[in-house]
Amino acid sequence: MSRSIDLFAIACLLALLALSSCVPSLKVREVRKSEPATYAGSTDTTNAATKSWQRFFTDPDLRALIDSALANNQELNIMLQEIAIAQSEVRARKGEYLPFVDIGAAAGVEKVGEFTRNGAVEHNLQIAEDTKFPEPLPDFIVGARASWEVDIWKKLRNARKAAMMRYLGSVEGKNFMVTHLVAEIANAYYELMALDNQLEILRSNIAIQQDALAIVKLEKQAAKVTELAVRRFEAEVLKNRSVQYDIQQRIVETENRINFLVGRYPRPVRRNSAAFSTLVPDTIYAGLPSQLLNYRPDIRQAERELVAAKLDVRSARASFYPQLRLTAGVGLNAFDPSKLIQAPQSLLYSVAGDLVAPLINRNAIKAAYQSANARQLQAVYDYERTVLNAYVEVVNQLSNIQNLRSSYELRAQQVDALSSSITISTNLFRSARADYMEVLLTQRDALESRFELVETRMQQLNAMVNVYQALGGGWR
């Protein structure tokens, strides 16, 4: 008899394993790693991303803003709570493959009909043994029970590892947000300084135009020019005075954008705008493209998500295999509380194990498996896209820095030429060798060129910040 039971158990186990082996095959695709070896042939491994933002930015006012933003920015604080949620998910997953043990106590009372099976047995037992059970019958129990799903196929452990990878990915997501926050504050800070300089240039230009207007009025009194010249100069002065208010509004909005990022209500932003024209962008060392894999937080996050997606596929695949669950319980049970401590009469215990595999209607398991595989393919494509985007960003910003450097040199020469032409055109106008339109156009061109020079300097500083961010700097 025992041999027959053993053979039956072995046959059932083999049948379950054979049934579980019918796992649908799915498309598998590995990551294509084919990034270029260098940027424009440079083999220098020095990388600006290794610098902390405290060393990269030397302006004390800017560093104070960044430091305050890292402590008070609401979006960053929301992301920190996302990390805490992911960490709790890891703990929850870890607990799933450990034994569950519950302890408890219960009490109840039951009255069964005498003409029922239980009532008849109890009645006959009382007659046979001449004993009297309480009516109705109380029931008291104190005990502990345990259950454990034996993780034979690593389904639960893979789920825990996937949760851990997503937690690490959320940390990298926070780091990526920090790089964006640092860069956004720095760019807004340089924009604010540029606006201050443009406002100062405009005010000095208005003063020059007002002097020119006074000269034109004197020339009109001497009948050398007409009322048209006076009106044209007045219109130019009024136009530039109007532009002042546009710049002042942009200054307010830029200050408040910085205040929002710092997590505070509107207030003036401290800065030393007088030193803006002397700011020279530092030389940026880009290193090698392969270093992006270690320095860019978004790439590191995509890598963690890819590993988690692969583990999800393994965990979903394990659902096709038999699951082994063990259960056990021990306690004390009696109809009288005073008899609970009378062991072994009141002692109860149980031990059981079951091996279960899906047989019919496995569509839900197949769907979950296919969905996990699709998400794994998504993670592969997302990783490749993130790496490609990082490389393109770095190349674009390196090219931008080089072109802006050449552009700034030419614009500086243009400003020098037009600044001297203002004096020349004014003197020629006084000696009647040039008309008032030449003076007006020269002043207008000089103002625009100085504005553009400031704009180009701001773009240079922004490009320096952007390439630092693109290389993966700013989160350390």
Strand 100-110 and strand 137-150: the pairing is antiparallel
Cα 140 from Cα 346, distance rounded (Å): 10
Model confidence over 296-337: pLDDT tens digits? 999 999 999 999 999 999 888 888 888 888 888 888 888 778
Please, where are the H alpha helices in 49-116? 53-56, 60-72, 74-96
- Is the pLDDT assigned to residue 21 strictly greater than 60? no
Count the domains in the chain: 2
Q: pLDDT band at residue 251, thresholds of 50, 70 and 90?
A: very high
Model confidence over 382-417: pLDDT tens digits? 999 999 999 999 999 999 999 999 999 999 999 999
Tell whether 43 and 67 lie within a shared domain: yes
- For the segment 335-354, the average pLDDT, to the nearest whole number, is 81
CATH of the domain at 123: 2.20.200.10
Tell whether 315 and 333 lie within a shared domain: no
Asked whether residue 20 is assigned to any structural domain, the reply reads: no
DSSP secondary structure of 369-413: HHHHHHHHHHHHHHHHHHHHHHHHHHHHHHHHHHHHHHHHHHHHH
Last residue of a domain, one of 300, 332, 356: 356
pLDDT value of position 218: 82
- Is the pLDDT assigned to residue 193 strictly greater than 90? yes
Asked whether residue 69 is assigned to any structural domain, the reply reads: yes
Cα 378 from Cα 63, distance rounded (Å): 39
Asked whether residue 2 is assigned to any structural domain, the reply reads: no
Asked whether residue 367 is assigned to any structural domain, the reply reads: yes
Cα 203 off chain centre by? 43
Cα 451 from Cα 445, distance rounded (Å): 10
What are residue 15's phi and psi, to 5 degrees? -65, -40
- Is the pLDDT assigned to residue 435 strictly greater than 80? no
Model confidence over 59-72: pLDDT tens digits? 999 999 999 999 99
**Axis crossing angle, helix 436-470 with helix 155-221, rounded to the nearest 10:** 170
More confident residue, 431 or 316: 316
The burial of 466, by beta-carbon neighbours within 10 Å (0-12 exposed, 13-18 middle, 19 or more buried), is given as buried
Residue 215's nearest CA partner among 201, 229, 202, 195 is 229
DSSP secondary structure of 146-177: EEEEE-TT-HHHHHHHHHHHHHHHHHHHHHHH
- Domain of residue 327, residue span: 101-150+323-356
Tell whether 245 and 179 lie within a shared domain: yes
Tell whether 140 and 277 lie within a shared domain: no
Cα 37 from Cα 46, distance rounded (Å): 15
- Greatest mean pLDDT among 7-16, 431-440, 456-465 lies in 456-465
Tell whether 89 and 157 lie within a shared domain: yes
Tell whether 287 and 391 lie within a shared domain: yes
pLDDT value of position 12: 56
The model's pTM: 0.83
Tell whether 307 and 342 lie within a shared domain: no
Q: What percent of the chain has pLDDT over 90?
A: 41
Last residue of a domain, one of 356, 378, 412: 356
Tell whether 349 and 428 lie within a shared domain: no
Cβ pair 42, 290 in contact under 8 A:
no
Asked whether residue 215 is assigned to any structural domain, the reply reads: yes
pLDDT value of position 125: 61
Estimate the share of the chain in helix, then strand, then coil, as percent rounded to the nearest 5.
65, 10, 20
- Is the pLDDT assigned to residue 271 strictly greater than 90? yes
Tell whether 257 and 296 lie within a shared domain: yes
Tell whether 195 and 340 lie within a shared domain: no
DSSP bridge pairs for 351: 328
Residue 456's nearest CA partner among 239, 58, 190 is 190
Model confidence over 113-145: pLDDT tens digits? 767 776 666 666 666 655 566 767 787 888 888
Asked whether residue 24 is assigned to any structural domain, the reply reads: no
Asked whether residue 7 is assigned to any structural domain, the reply reads: no
- Is the pLDDT assigned to residue 423 strictly greater than 70? yes
Tell whether 401 and 293 lie within a shared domain: yes
- Which residues contact residue 452 at a Cβ distance below 8 angstroms, ignoring those fewer than 6 apart? 411
